[in-house]
């Protein structure tokens, strides 16, 4: 019997007595609802305030991205990849670009690799800042949202300087990056990092150790490591359950094997249970600290040189296929490309961590209060552009 069916039966048994019979109420949360973090509709069946069943309904943001890729050349696909996880577009571009480069055998200049790492980690910080601000907003705190957006704006301003765009960048090209970083950009990043470390301390005082916040997220939406394995969870969701797995460490790409950083995992601090909403939240907060360390080391590694390798104007991949994955802010993003030797791919398939995590909601919801279910959705940090594609 499926988990949610068991939840319904248990609730019906508990409420069944001689004097009162109850019925489950079906409520639609979304698709336009601030707690769903996008156009997600969750059909929930409740007994009073207790959720017995939750069924996610997706597809409201479906754009046929994978089908479009079959009629577009390899360079032209990058703007489409941008629009999946639009809060971490740089990371999405990087996975796709490196998959094509790997199949093509393109050598990316060292300076371009360092710039890619700097930009990717800045994008990770920007993404986690959005997760932090909106999560606090979901639970009733408004000020953290403003603080987070103030810092995120500084990163977006830098992205606008180097790419010309604030959200969808088309900055990582096959072979490198399309625009170099200047000394002024380096100084701007250093100033941002110096200030941001103090901001992280502020967030810890304001939210992470806040008594009301802790009562809302501790021991809520607990996922064991086995649960994560069963559903294929990755990224902060998996690490929040205490399992140390990060592709930047276990399968290093770019120059991640040349920098020192830690992989934060849930430890059950501040009265929480490993694998609950708090641990998924705090992993993201600690990851921002590690991203700061990585960026500082990358700035020291910058050397003069080209920022894009030699790539043919018309890209034709050899016949064959490749599956390539990287550690994005929301988990492992995989790209599967099948080539027939033409200038357009035969198939591009995306393995989305957000899709995987949405699929876990029916398992996590039964027995929770509706308010706790809101905290659970926020803790898995989904972006519907990547879920629906």
Q: What is the pLDDT of residues 223-277, one digit of tens each?
A: 999 999 999 999 999 999 999 999 999 999 999 999 999 999 999 888 889 999 9
Per-residue pLDDT band for 319 (boundaries 50, 70, 90) equals very high
pLDDT of residue 5 exceeding 60, the answer is: no
User: From CA 29, how far away is CA 31, in angstroms rounded?
Assistant: 7
pLDDT per position as a tens digit, 87-125: 999 999 999 999 999 999 899 999 999 999 999 999 999
pLDDT of res. 13: 56
Exposure pattern of 273-286 as b/e (b: 16+ CB <10 Å)? Answer: bbbbbbbbbbbbbb
Q: Tell me the whole-structure pTM to 2 decimals.
A: 0.90
CB atoms within 10 A of CB 337: 23
Examine the pLDDT at 325 and tell me if it is beyond 80.
yes
| Domains by residue range for the chain, with CATH | 3-57 (no CATH), 65-351 (1.10.645.10)
Q: Across the chain, what does the average pLDDT equal?
A: 90
**pLDDT classification of 336: cutoffs 50, 70, 90:** very high
Long-range contacts of 61-67 (CB under 8 A, 24+ apart): 61/384, 61/385, 61/387, 61/388, 62/388, 62/389, 63/388, 63/389, 65/350, 65/389, 66/347, 66/348, 66/349, 66/350, 66/389
What pLDDT digit, counting tens, does each position of 36-72 carry?
888 889 999 998 889 999 999 999 989 899 999 999 9
Give percent above pLDDT 90 in the chain. 72
- Residue ranges of alpha helices (H) inside the chain are 3-15, 65-68, 78-82, 89-104, 110-138, 143-163, 183-203, 211-217, 225-231, 235-240, 247-250, 277-301, 353-358, 361-364, 370-380, 384-388
Return d(Cα 277, Cα 273) in angstroms, integer: 9
């Amino acid at each position: 019997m499926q988990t949610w069916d068991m939840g319904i039966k248990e609730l019906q048994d508990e409420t069944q007595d001689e004097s009162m019979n109850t019925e489950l109420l079906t409520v639609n949360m979304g698709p336009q609802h601030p707690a769903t973090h996008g156009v997600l509709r969750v059909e929930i069946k409740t007994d009073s305030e207790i959720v017995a069943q939750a069924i996610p309904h997706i597809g409201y943001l479906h754009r046929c991205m994978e089908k479009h890729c079959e009629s577009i050349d390899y360079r032209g696909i990058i703007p489409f990849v941008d629009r999946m996880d639009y809060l971490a577009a740089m990371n999405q571009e990087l996975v796709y670009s490196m998959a094509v480069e790997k199949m093509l055998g393109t050598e990316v200049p060292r300076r371009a690799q360092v710039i890619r790492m700097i930009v990717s980690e800045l994008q990770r910080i920007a993404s986690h800042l959005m997760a932090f601000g909106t999560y606090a907003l979901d639970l009733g705190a408004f000020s953290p949202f403003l603080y987070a957006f103030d810092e995120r704006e500084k990163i977006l301003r830098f992205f606008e300087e180097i790419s010309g765009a604030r959200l969808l960048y088309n900055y990582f090209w096959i072979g490198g990056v399309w625009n170099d970083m200047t000394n002024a950009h380096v100084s701007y990043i250093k100033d941002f990092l110096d200030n941001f470390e103090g901001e992280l301390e502020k967030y810890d005082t304001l939210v992470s150790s806040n008594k009301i916040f802790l009562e809302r997220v501790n021991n809520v939406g607990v996922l064991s490591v086995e649960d994560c394995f069963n559903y294929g969870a990755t990224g902060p969701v998996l690490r929040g359950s205490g399992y140390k797995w990060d592709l930047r460490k276990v399968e290093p790409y770019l120059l991640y094997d040349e920098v020192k950083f830690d992989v934060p995992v849930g430890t059950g601090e501040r009265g929480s249970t490993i694998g609950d909403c708090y641990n998924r939240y705090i992993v993201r907060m600690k990851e921002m600290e590690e991203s700061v360390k990585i960026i500082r080391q990358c700035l020291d590694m910058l050397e003069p040189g080209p920022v894009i390798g030699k790539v043919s104007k018309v890209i034709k991949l050899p016949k064959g296929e490749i599956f390539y994955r990287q550690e994005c802010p929301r988990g492992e993003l995989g790209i599967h490309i099948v080539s027939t030797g033409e200038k357009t791919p035969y198939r591009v398939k995306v393995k989305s961590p957000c899709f995987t995590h949405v699929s876990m909601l029916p398992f996590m919801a039964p027995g929770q209060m509706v308010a706790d279910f809101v905290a659970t959705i926020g803790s898995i940090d989904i972006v519907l552009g990547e879920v629906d594609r």
